[in-house]
A and B are shown apart, each in its own frame.
Chain A
Amino acid sequence: GIQVEQSPPDLILQEGANSTLRCNFSDSVNNLQWFHQNPWGQLINLFYIPSGTKQNGRLSATTVATERYSLLYISSSQTTDSGVYFCAVAGRGGADGLTFGKGTHLIIQP
């Protein structure tokens, strides 16, 4: 099946810093989503972005489908941004289920 690798695995930043999280995938995808799992375990959908660029407030994401990677940018980090960020994909075979990466554990210190 499709492989998803996320980097870095862990990231510790001071409040106000910017960060870039990366997601590499091993095959063509027709579905790519970014999720934030907060410290209470809730999974929040951030972006549906199989290609192109989207922005939502301080967060933006870019997927370069031809090169099989996606980037999540977080600007002016706040402590509430802490948690685990997951990239999840489904391949062009038409799969329903998303394959998740192992996530990037982000800690924002005040």
Chain B
Amino acid sequence: EPEVTQTPSHQVTQMGQEVILRCVPISNHLYFYWYRQILGQKVEFLVSFYNNEISEKSEIFDDQFSVERPDGSNFTLKIRSTKLEDSAMYFCASSELWGPYNSPLHFGNGTRLTVT
């Protein structure tokens, strides 16, 4: 069964450094998302991406964050200057259609980001 793949599985970085988290969505999916989960807490929506542009973003997704689809397969999340509070599991997800049109969300296994 097709999967969403994320790399790396674990990233350790120092405060103030830039990080790029990478994702390969399922090939026939059109909508891409990033979510995060701080340890022990609920999953939070960051951003959705469709047709090479941001469709929606949450309050968490401030100017330190950016997303890009640099080629036909990869989807990346960049954090420009990491803070301690950015430590979390970051999940990439994709769906075939827009959510309300009977389109389940498929998640990758996540990248655990640790900011020291």
Contact = CB atoms under 8 A, between A and B. Distances in A.
Contacts of A31: 99-100
B43 interface: yes
Interface in A20-74: 30-31, 33, 35, 40-45, 48, 50
Given A96-B31, A98-B105, A90 B100 contact: yes
A interface bracket (residues with beta carbon within 8 Å of B): 20 to 34
A30 B104 contact: no
Interface residues of B, number: 28
B66 interface: no
Residue among A31, A44, A96, A100 with the most chain B CB within 10 A? A96
Interface in A92-106: 94-103
Contacts of A97: 33, 45-48, 56, 58
Nearest to B61: A97
A88 interface: yes
A96 B104 contact: no
A96 B103 contact: no
A96 B48 CA distance: 7
Interface of A: 30-31, 33, 35, 40-45, 48, 50, 86, 88, 90, 94-103
